[in-house]
């Protein structure tokens, strides 16, 4: 089995549920569903789909950096949103970070996320 390296963001849910923010195995990094939380686990950009997407991607970027990667290494993202009618706001922010990288991506509507103030959760896969 290949070496497994884990990164924790310190979010309160990680220890309760038993997961890592990101896991690196070999040349791959898997970033778990990430939301628009700030340093104290508070939701950033309440009610603002664009702002939440920006914060979420910045959180993903931080996890990738901790494991030796950047957003340029991302090959796939999955966006889980609570209101698909706001797709342009989510998409605008995603495009600002990934417009040149162009990873495979998915956006699907879900009924709710772990905190009712959260509008988006994003997973990312990266290759070194």
Whole-number pLDDT of residue 101: 98
- Closest by CA to 6, choosing from 18, 16, 21, is 21
Q: Which fold has domain 4-127?
A: 60s Ribosomal Protein L30; Chain: A; (3.30.1330)
Q: What are the residue ranges spanned by the domains of the chain?
A: 4-127
Least confident of 13-17, 34-38, 42-46: 13-17
Sole residue written with tokens 């898997």: 30
Report d(CA 59, CA 41) in Å as an integer: 11
> How does the average pLDDT of the chain come out, rounded?
96
pLDDT in tens, 43-67: 999 999 999 999 999 999 999 999 9
pLDDT above 90 covers what percent of the chain? 91
**pTM (predicted TM-score):** 0.95
Query: Cα angle vertex 80, ends 74, 81, to 5°?
Result: 130
């Amino acid at each position: 089995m290949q070496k497994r390296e884990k990164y924790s963001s310190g979010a309160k849910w990680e220890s309760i549920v038993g997961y890592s923010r990101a896991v690196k195995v070999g040349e791959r990094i898997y970033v778990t569903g990430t939301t628009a939380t700030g340093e104290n686990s508070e939701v950033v950009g309440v009610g603002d789909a664009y702002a939440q997407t920006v914060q979420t991607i910045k959180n993903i970027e931080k996890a990738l950096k901790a494991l030796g990667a950047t957003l340029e290494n991302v090959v796939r993202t999955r966006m889980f949103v609570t209101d698909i009618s706001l797709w342009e706001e989510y998409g605008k922010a995603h495009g600002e970070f990934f417009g040149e990288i162009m990873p495979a991506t998915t956006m699907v509507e879900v009924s709710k996320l772990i905190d009712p103030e959260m509008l988006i959760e994003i997973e990312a896969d990266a290759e070194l």
